[in-house]
């Protein structure tokens, strides 16, 4: 009998905890809600890949928002939450992937292209000015010939 009563008490005790496991909406906690917003705009939804977890209505995005809520409630830092996502989905989940070996081309590519463009432009301009400088003005004989030709055209 006592055991049963104890068990009953235990079950009663567990109810609030069981409930806490489910992510309750954080609307009553604006700071946490703001953190959720900020975090989920940094994370890519892998189902519809050009949307953030904040924008996407895909099931997975909803699940991940629920997961982030739970982690915020559990007092985890933003970095811990980001790490949680990266260990599961890889750097691809980040809208701003970290600079490292494999992402070097991604970050450095545009810069490299810019430098390549500047280099090509500078080279072209240098060659062009050399070409212009290299052009000899007409000699006296050539000037005369050109003038007679022009006159011929006028007379016609």
Partner 1 sequence: MNRYFWILGAFAGLVALLAVGLNLNPQDVPSPLVGKPAPAFSLNVLATPEKTLGPKDMQGKVWLLNVWASWCVSCRAEHPVLVKFSKDNQVPVIGLSYKEVRGDGEFDMSKLNAEQERKLAFQRASQWLAQHGNPYTDTLMDLDGRVGIDYGVYGVPETYVIDKAGIIRMKQTGPIDPDVLSKKILPLLAELNK
Stretch that binds partner 1, among 1-9, 56-64, 75-83, 143-151 (CB under 8 A): 56-64
88 contributes a contact to partner 1 by CB under 8 A? yes
Shortest distance in whole angstroms from residue 91 CB to partner 1: 8
87 contributes a contact to partner 1 by CB under 8 A? yes
Q: What CA–CA distance (Å, rounded) separates 71 from 91?
A: 20
39 contributes a contact to partner 1 by CB under 8 A? no
User: Residues 6 or more apart from 92 whose CB is under 8 A from it?
Assistant: 44, 46
Token pair listed for 128 = 């062009």
Query: Exposed, middle or buried by CB within 10 Å (0-12, 13-18, 19+), for 40?
Result: buried
Nearer to partner 1, 106 or 138 (CB): 106
42 contributes a contact to partner 1 by CB under 8 A? no
Nearer to partner 1, 6 or 24 (CB): 24
Q: What CA–CA distance (Å, rounded) separates 32 from 69?
A: 8
Token pair listed for 22 = 């489910």
Q: Which residues bind partner 1 (CB under 8 A)?
A: 46-47, 49, 59-60, 63-64, 67, 86-92
């Amino acid at each position: 009998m006592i055991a049963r009563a104890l068990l009953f008490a235990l079950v009663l005790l567990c109810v609030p905890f069981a409930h806490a496991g489910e992510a309750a909406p954080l609307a009553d906690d604006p700071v946490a809600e703001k953190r959720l917003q900020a975090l989920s705009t940094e994370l890519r939804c892998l189902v519809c890949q050009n949307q953030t977890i904040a924008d996407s209505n895909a099931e997975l995005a909803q699940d991940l928002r629920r997961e982030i809520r739970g982690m915020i409630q559990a007092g985890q830092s933003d970095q811990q939450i980001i790490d949680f996502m990266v260990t599961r989905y890889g750097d691809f989940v980040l809208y701003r992937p970290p600079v490292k070996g494999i992402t070097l081309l991604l970050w450095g590519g545009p810069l490299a292209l810019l430098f390549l463009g500047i280099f090509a432009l500078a080279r072209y301009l240098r060659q062009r000015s050399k070409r212009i400088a290299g052009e000899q003005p007409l000699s006296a004989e050539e000037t005369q010939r050109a003038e007679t030709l022009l006159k011929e055209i006028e007379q016609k």
